[in-house]
Amino acid sequence: MKEKFLGIDVCTDTYDQLAAKLLEDINHNRKSFIVAINPEKIMKAQEDMELRDLLNKATYQIPDGIGVILASMMKGGKIRSRVTGIDMMMRLCKEAALHGKKVFLYGAKPGVADEAKKKLEERFPGIQIVGTMHGYEKNENVIVNAINASNPDILFVALGSPAQEYWIVKHMDSLAPKVYQGVGGSFDVVSGRLKRAPLLFQKLGMEWFYRLVKEPWRWKRQLVLPKFLIKAIRE
């Protein structure tokens, strides 16, 4: 099931439902693509039709961002909790370790994906992370060949948004993995180089507030939340 906010589809599935669907996609050799949706991306897609098509092209648009939850509540929808990009990635890693699915990490600064790999191996014993590649390699063939050589089932792409989503759509036909997820700065967090907001803020849906205090120069970017809510209600 999907709900639409200002022309952008968002899945109503929970982590459990998504995990089950994604495993089925892998087992049935179906390709699927996960994109994290937040008010910033929806607002950007209002003027950028190419971005709108790209977001709607994804198989699963996950509601990352409290703004989408609020909009769904106010419009009588049924999305009640966030599915964040990084937590979805963690959940997929857990499933990969449990079910013997292979994972590849592509993106972030040189060294970061390797550090993230180590951390994931500690956290999910038995996980097969069959390869990594940093996000500054310019030769597309080198990247595609490196990924296909290790025949992964799941590919996490951490190039920032929407570059990573454009990259996935452009290359997924010639790539081996079944499940594709754009994960933004998640490798920086998983590797330990970047700190996520404390759990309390995450639980309250207030990560935006934590970031505002730590990186006050971002306040202008955050104005998008009230703008989005007003627009979504009027819709």
Residue 71 contacts residue 232 (beta carbons within 8 Å): yes
Residue 130 contacts residue 151 (beta carbons within 8 Å): yes
When the beta carbons of 79 and 112 are compared against ligand UDP, the nearer one is 112
Find the binder of ligand UDP among 102, 184, 191, 225 (CB under 6 A).
184
Q: Smallest distance, Å, CB 141 to ligand UDP?
A: 17
Q: Does 185 bind ligand UDP (CB under 6 A)?
A: yes
Q: Which of 4, 193, 177 is nearest to 113 (CA)?
A: 193
Q: Does 105 bind ligand UDP (CB under 6 A)?
A: no
Contacts of residue 89, Cβ cutoff 8 Å, sequence gap at least 6: 156, 181, 183, 186, 190
Q: Does 153 bind ligand UDP (CB under 6 A)?
A: no
Taking the C-alpha atoms of residue 69 and residue 75, their distance in angstroms, rounded to an integer, is 10
Closest-by-Cβ residue to ligand UDP is 135
Q: Does 168 bind ligand UDP (CB under 6 A)?
A: no
When the beta carbons of 97 and 158 are compared against ligand UDP, the nearer one is 158
Rounded to 5°, the CA angle 1-65-109 comes to: 110
Q: How many residues bind ligand UDP (CB under 6 A)?
A: 13
Q: What phi and psi values does residue 127 have, to the nearest 5 degrees?
A: -65, 140
Find the binder of ligand UDP among 68, 97, 133, 158 (CB under 6 A).
158
Q: Does 152 bind ligand UDP (CB under 6 A)?
A: no
Q: What phi and psi values does residue 120 have, to the nearest 5 degrees?
A: -65, -35
Q: Does 77 bind ligand UDP (CB under 6 A)?
A: no
Q: Which residues bind ligand UDP (CB under 6 A)?
A: 107-109, 135-136, 158-161, 184-185, 187-188
